[in-house]
Amino acid sequence: MVGVKDPESLGDFAKPLPRPDMSSNPPRFLIVGAGSRGQAFASAIDSVSNGVVAAVAEPVDFKRETLGRKHIWGAAAAAAGEGQSFSHWREFVAYEQDRRRRVAAGEQGVPDGVDGAFVCVLDEMHREVVVALAALELHIMCEKPLATNLDDCLAMYHAVRPLRHSRVFSIGHVLRYSQHNLMLRKLLVEDRLIGDINSAVHTEPVGWWHFAHSFVRGNWRNDKTSAPALLTKCCHDVDMLLWLLCSPEKAGQGEPHLPESVSSSGGVQFFKKSRKPAAAGSATNCMKCPLGDSGCKYSAKQIYMGDRIGLGRGNTEWPIDTVVCDIEDYKTHDERMAVMAKTLEEDWDESTPANVVSSRNWYGRCVYETDNNVCDDQFVTITWPETNRPAKRITLHMAAQTKRQCERFSRYYGEHGEIYSDSKTIVFDDFATGETKTFTPLQEDLGHGGGDMGLTRQFVLACDKVKNHGWDAEQSQNEFVGCTLDEVIRSHVMVFAAEEARLGKKVVDWQQYWNDTVGKEVHG
């Protein structure tokens, strides 16, 4: 078989990567936003990276104190020290500007600042935070998506691009960094195990209750207050597909194989009033629904208080702590049940102002009576032209009604064989020999199969190379993060192009869309 290397040589993907050596002056990081993502990245910094968590900015006292005690000032300290805790990211910016003035004036005993930041606030806040932190010339890792609209994405791109030789920038596209997907890319792109790829089919099964929690009742339910689900849930699926099928083998080296067109279809197919069970009557809240706890699988009482997912099984983590963020402050089971019930009983009616409805989450609301408008089922098709590389096409399917929860699976069809990939295994079928080989890469952690840890490790390592070893930041970003700024903006533009195609019921020409929205000065 032409161009195929021995797949048995890929044993390193079954081993955990070693923690990088700590420098004498390791990079120090601020966590902006101490929710579930901020907590995850703080834990990863402590456990697998050669950096330290030095400060936190978070308006919710409980979240800020929890992260700080665990990762910064410790449980034994009476309170945070100077420069360690901020109730708002703007408070940090003002402090850091003043801290630098004090240092420049020669003041003694001024605490060290931070070298970089993990931005984990709400999606719609990303632009303002990243632009402000870029002005401080910090290394930045921004949680995905980059922003909720294309104008904000481009503003962030232009804010960080001038710093590309001195500061590392990364996006939270964690799918790139699991051992599973790193091995998949090696097989497909570096070893060319199936030769030229002809087509691929990729599915993101969100999960029936997960979609209801996050995209019907939760933060990402309405594109007027958040963004389309293709962006908020699947932008890193789009990124992974472009990483596998568009990007050069090595970041920053060579030209990408740019797409030709994108089309999409989808809508609110299930979570709408017309699908509401007749027996639910006029109820708009699960705590008052005549169907009762077991009459509807989407019962908020059953999901958040029951024994399958919720408090009934002793779970006080996600998704429970997104409904009651300080649930662990309530010490007994009965107290936790009572505060959860009270929260779920909260509802709105026709007299509630629209801005009040949209300003918060209503986790007890009937899933057929919410203000959600994002797709719960969507297909995207991307095509590539024949250039110096053969033509190909792919389909991405985002589905809400699935038993699997974010356990993505794909098939890649090539000239020499095909590869099936899910969240645990990679299966290669060889056309020439008829042999089947199955690989089971290490799943380093439950957080995106180890992707959270992998991204954190690589980003911090890139920052350390700049701070302590004299590396150019763009070189370090390409080598360790493996994702260029152009790749970051390209995957987001693809999502917006797909949404234009869906809403306009048309096929969008990629190059024309890029030129019209981004401009010719940025590589497509």
Q: Domain holding 207: CATH number?
A: 3.30.360.10
Are 322 and 433 in the same domain? no
Determine the Cα–Cα distance for residues 210 and 298; give it in Å rounded to an integer: 10
The predicted pLDDT at position 423 comes to 84
Cα 462-468-474 angle, rounded to 5 deg = 35
Tokens at 413, concatenated:
């069809």
358, 383, 398 - which closes a domain = 358
The predicted pLDDT at position 368 comes to 98
174, 190, 213 - which closes a domain = 174
Whether cis (ω within 30° of 0) applies to the bond prior to 145 is yes
Angle at which helices 36-48 and 451-469 pack, to 10 degrees?
60
**Residue 6, domain member (yes or no):** no
Are 335 and 388 in the same domain? no
3-state secondary structure 478-524: HHHHCCCHHHHHHHHHHHHHHHHHHHHCCCEEHHHHHHHHCCCCCCC
- Note the pLDDT tens digit of each residue in 336-356: 999 999 999 999 999 999 999
Domain count, the chain: 3
Nearest CA to 494 among 347, 388, 396?
A: 396
Angle at which helices 485-504 and 150-160 pack, to 10 degrees?
170
Sheet hosting strand 417-421, strand order edge to edge: 436-439, 426-430, 417-421, 409-414, 197-205, 392-399, 377-384, 261-267, 508-509
CB atoms within 10 A of CB 123: 22
Q: How confident is residue 450, by pLDDT bands cut at 50, 70 and 90?
A: confident
The predicted pLDDT at position 445 comes to 72
CB atoms within 10 A of CB 118: 28
Are 422 and 503 in the same domain? yes
- CB contact burial 132-169 (16+ within 10 A = b; e otherwise): bbbebebbbbbbbbbbbbbebbbebbebbeebeeebbb
Determine the Cα–Cα distance for residues 448 and 362; give it in Å rounded to an integer: 27
**Residue 9, domain member (yes or no):** no
Determine the Cα–Cα distance for residues 356 and 372; give it in Å rounded to an integer: 15
Residue 306: give the domain boundaries: 273-358
- Note the pLDDT tens digit of each residue in 356-374: 999 999 999 999 999 999 9
The predicted pLDDT at position 5 comes to 41
Per-residue pLDDT at 6 exceeds 60: no
The predicted pLDDT at position 447 comes to 64
**Residue 464, domain member (yes or no):** no
Nearest CA to 144 among 227, 69, 213, 206?
A: 227
Cα distances (Å, whole numbers) of residue 452 to 8, 41, 172, 179, 339:
27, 7, 8, 11, 31
The predicted pLDDT at position 522 comes to 67
Are 169 and 25 in the same domain? yes
Nearest CA to 302 among 363, 357, 362, 347?
A: 363
Q: How confident is residue 449, by pLDDT bands cut at 50, 70 and 90?
A: confident
Q: What is the largest CA-CA distance in the chain?
A: 73
Are 267 and 237 in the same domain? yes
Nearest CA to 258 among 375, 386, 117?
A: 386
Are 202 and 144 in the same domain? no
- Note the pLDDT tens digit of each residue in 61-92: 999 999 999 999 998 898 999 999 999 999 99
Q: What distance, in Å, lies between the first and last C-alpha atoms of the chain?
A: 34
Tokens at 361, concatenated:
């989450």
Nearest CA to 348 among 335, 334, 333, 363?
A: 363
Determine the Cα–Cα distance for residues 20 and 460; give it in Å rounded to an integer: 9
The predicted pLDDT at position 524 comes to 57
The CA-based dihedral angle spanning residues 343, 340, 39, 33, taken in that order and rounded to the nearest 10 degrees = 10
Determine the Cα–Cα distance for residues 213 and 191; give it in Å rounded to an integer: 40
Are 263 and 305 in the same domain? no
The predicted pLDDT at position 521 comes to 58
**Residue 246, domain member (yes or no):** yes
Per-residue pLDDT at 1 exceeds 50: no
Per-residue pLDDT at 8 exceeds 70: no
Contacts of 32 (CB under 8 A, 6+ apart): 38, 57, 58, 89, 92, 117, 118, 119, 120, 121, 129, 133
The predicted pLDDT at position 151 comes to 96
* One-letter amino acid of 209: W
Are 53 and 167 in the same domain? yes
Cα distances (Å, whole numbers) of residue 463 to 23, 53, 145, 172, 243:
11, 13, 21, 16, 22
**Residue 466, domain member (yes or no):** no
Determine the Cα–Cα distance for residues 133 and 90; give it in Å rounded to an integer: 10
CB atoms within 10 A of CB 314: 10
Are 212 and 236 in the same domain? yes
Please give the share of the chain, as a percent, with pLDDT higher than 70.
96
Are 54 and 100 in the same domain? yes
Are 241 and 284 in the same domain? no
The CA-based dihedral angle spanning residues 388, 393, 398, 401, taken in that order and rounded to the nearest 10 degrees = -150
Mean pLDDT within 104-118: 97
135, 150, 174 - which closes a domain = 174
- Note the pLDDT tens digit of each residue in 456-477: 999 999 999 999 999 999 999 9
**In sequence order, what are the beta bridge partners of 396?**
202, 380
The predicted pLDDT at position 2 comes to 38
Determine the Cα–Cα distance for residues 454 and 408; give it in Å rounded to an integer: 18
**Residue 3, domain member (yes or no):** no
The predicted pLDDT at position 3 comes to 38
- Note the pLDDT tens digit of each residue in 186-228: 999 999 999 999 999 999 999 999 999 999 999 999 999 999 9
Nearest CA to 220 among 88, 332, 375, 369?
A: 375
Determine the Cα–Cα distance for residues 524 and 520; give it in Å rounded to an integer: 8
Cα 372-494-401 angle, rounded to 5 deg = 40
Mean per-residue pLDDT of the chain: 94
Per-residue pLDDT at 417 exceeds 90: yes
* Backbone torsion region of residue 202, taken as left when φ is above 0, otherwise alpha when ψ lies between -120 and 50, otherwise beta: beta
